[in-house]
């Protein structure tokens, strides 16, 4: 399955008139240490520079995903996150700052990411994902990282990624536990294969340490980098479950549902 | 020599944080099962902690749609027949999470 997935996800432009962008001397200096990673190298870095990623919500998980991807040199990033900064954001949402309480999160996100990587082509929309905006946003990117705190948003994103056959890194946490998988529509289980219906008992507010949300976020960023850079083995068809109480990590095999309402037709 | 189908075996349920109010806070629950099947293991778990029953269809023992069950590292998808389990197997409940 791995070879098929990697071949399907050929992100290099097929048009020879539109090759991967070259790295500038400044980019060589900044990314030198990660370009030493085996099977990544300068070609991988150019793939990151050429890629566009959408992050749905930029809180405890999404904020760290955005930081890691901006640091790694993703060329273009779209972030969807509404609302103003609240005091309760600050235990985990590393792109929000104390001086910005009461002001738009989108501005804090822009400011912090640009401080880290002024070269990034960044679009932050002051909206959360919904059935209307998911389609045009997903259409503009190569990969999505889903970090939303509501299943309605996650299901809408999953549906669009399946419809547009875009890879989706699905990561979430609760209290001291977290889980992550990577979805390649039509070849791996999608979110609705795992959970066919929106759970009625999920509450918007959940127990969270920033260290837990930030850890699963860094794992999600690594999944995105592997998929875009075409190296390593993404968690395709696997769910990594992390228990930070016992520090036990299990890689579980998950299966597609033939009758999945979202991806069963693929 | 007795086989697993002829004797009582011990299996461990791993309970996620979201369901632990129903398991007296326990994250792991070891249970003895006399007819070693997944269905019997669910029955025993529910007997021990009745609050967990709401997360299963108590007629078929299928988990609700927001829960996946893993037998050791494999997702269980077929609940139609008596899925066999062995001594020391692990049954893991993984609920849908959206904390982000």
CA A104, A206, B99, B50: dihedral to nearest 10 degrees?
A: -160
Rounded CA gap, A116 and A94, in Å?
13
**Percent residues over pLDDT 90 in chain B:** 77
Judge contact between A166 and B62, C-beta under 8 A.
no
> Could you tell me which residues come within 8 angstroms of residue A36 by beta carbon, excluding any fewer than 6 positions away?
none
Which residue of B lies nearest to A180 if distances are taken between CA atoms? B97
List of chain A residues whose C-beta atoms are within 8 Å of the C-beta of residue B68 = 194-195, 254
Q: Is the pTM of this model over 0.90?
A: yes
CA–CA distance, B9 with B31 (Å, rounded to integer): 8
* pLDDT for res A14: 44
Report the pLDDT value the prediction gives residue A1, as an integer from 0 to 100: 41
The three state secondary structure string of B23-85 is HCCCCEEEEEECCCEHHHHHHHHHHHCHHHHHHECCCCCCECCCEEEEECCEECCCCCCCCEC
Residues A3-13, mean pLDDT to the nearest whole number: 44
Q: How many CA atoms lie within 13 A of A238 on its CB side?
A: 15
Q: Given this model, what pLDDT does residue A16 score?
A: 53
**Residue B2 — pLDDT band, cuts 50, 70, 90?**
low
Which residue of B16, B65, B77 is in closest CB contact with A195?
B65
Q: Among A59, A175, A198, whose Cβ lies nearest the Cβ of B100?
A: A59
**Nearest residue on chain B to A251, alpha-carbon basis:** B73
Contact list, B18 vs chain A (CB under 8 Å): 174-175
Does domain B9-95 sit in CATH 1.10.10.10? no
B1 pLDDT tier (thresholds 50, 70, 90): low
Question: Residues of A with CB below 8 A from B75's CB?
Answer: 252-255
* B4, containing H or E segment: none
B73, B77, B98 member nearest A250 (Cβ): B73
State how far the Cα of B94 lies from the Cα of B15, in Å rounded to an integer.
Answer: 8
Please give the distance of CA A239 from its chain centroid, rounded to a whole number.
15
Mean pLDDT of A64-81: 98
CB B75 to CB A254 under 8 A?
A: yes
CB contact under 8 A, A195 and B77: no
pLDDT band at A233 (very low <50, low <70, confident <90, very high): very high
Give the pLDDT confidence score for residue A190 in this predicted structure: 98
- Which phi and psi (to 5°) does residue A36 adopt? -75, -10
Give residue B4's pLDDT band: very low, low, confident or very high (50, 70, 90): low
Picking from B67, B68, B99, the nearest residue to A173 by CB comes out as B99
Average pLDDT rounded to a whole number, residues B41-68: 95
Domain boundaries, chain A: 24-253
Q: Return the higher-pLDDT residue of A31 and A199.
A: A31
**Å between B31 CA and nearest CA of chain A:** 21
| Whole-angstrom Cα Rg for chain A | 18
Q: Which of the four CATH numbers 3.40.50.720, 3.30.70.270, 3.40.50.300, 2.60.120.510 does domain A24-253 have? A: 3.40.50.720
pLDDT at A18 over 70: no
Instruction: State residue A17's pLDDT score.
Output: 58
Enumerate the residues of chain A whose CB falls inside 8 A of the CB of residue B73. Answer: 250-253
Contact A206 B99 (CB under 8 A): yes
* pLDDT tens digits, one per residue of B7-38: 789 999 999 999 999 999 999 999 999 888 99
Which helix H or strand E contains B91, and what residues bound it? strand B90-95
Mean pLDDT of B66-72: 96
* pLDDT averaged over every residue in chain A: 94
pLDDT at B8: 87
Least confident among A2-6, A101-105, A203-207, A233-237: A2-6
Confidence of residue B49 (pLDDT cuts 50, 70, 90): very high
Distance CA A174, CA A138 (A): 26
Q: Which residue of B has its CA nearest to A64?
A: B100
Average pLDDT over residues A193-207: 92
Which of B65, B95, B100 shows the shortest C-beta gap to A60?
B100
Q: Supply the ipTM of this predicted assembly.
A: 0.92
pLDDT of residue B24: 96
Is A149's CB within 8 Å of B98's CB? yes
HSE, side-chain direction, 13 A CA sphere, residue A125: 14
């Amino acid at each position: 399955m791995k070879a098929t997935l990697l071949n399907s996800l050929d992100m290099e432009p097929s048009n020879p008139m539109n090759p991967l962008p070259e790295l500038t001397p400044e980019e060589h200096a900044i990314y030198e240490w990660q370009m030493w990673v085996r099977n990544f190298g300068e070609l991988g870095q150019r793939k990151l520079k050429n890629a566009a990623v959408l992050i749905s919500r930029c809180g405890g998980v999404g904020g760290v995903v955005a930081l890691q991807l901006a640091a790694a040199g993703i060329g273009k990033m779209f972030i969807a996150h509404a609302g103003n900064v609240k005091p309760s954001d600050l235990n985990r949402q590393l792109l929000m700052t104390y001086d910005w309480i009461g002001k738009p999160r989108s501005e804090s996100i822009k400011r912090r990411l640009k401080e880290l990587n002024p070269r990034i082509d960044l679009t932050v929309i002051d909206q959360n994902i919904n059935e209307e905006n998911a389609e045009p946003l997903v259409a503009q990117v190569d990969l999505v990282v889903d970090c939303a705190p509501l299943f309605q948003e996650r299901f809408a994103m999953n549906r669009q990624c399946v419809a547009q056959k875009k890879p989706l890194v699905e990561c979430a946490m609760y209290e001291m536990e977290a889980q992550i998988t990577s979805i390649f529509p039509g070849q791996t289980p999608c979110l609705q294969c795992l959970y066919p219906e929106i759970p009625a008992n999920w509450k918007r507010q959940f127990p969270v340490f920033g260290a837990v949300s930030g850890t699963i976020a860094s794992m999600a960023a690594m999944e995105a980098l592997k998929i875009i850079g075409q190296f390593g083995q993404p968690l395709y068809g696997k769910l990594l479950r992390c228990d930070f109480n016992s520090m036990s990590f299990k890689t579980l095999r998950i299966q597609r549902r033939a009758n999945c309402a979202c991806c069963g037709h693929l | 020599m007795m086989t697993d189908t002829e004797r009582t075996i011990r299996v461990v349920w791993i309970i996620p944080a979201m369901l632990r109010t129903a398991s007296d806070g326990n994250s792991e629950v070891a249970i003895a099962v006399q007819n070693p099947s997944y269905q019997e293991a669910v029955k025993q778990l529910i007997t021990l902690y009745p609050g967990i029953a709401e997360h299963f269809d108590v007629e078929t023992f299928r988990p609700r749609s927001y829960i996946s069950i893993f037998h050791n590292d494999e997702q269980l998808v077929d609940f139609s027949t008596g899925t066999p389990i062995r001594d020391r197997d692990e049954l893991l409940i993984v609920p849908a999470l959206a904390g982000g």
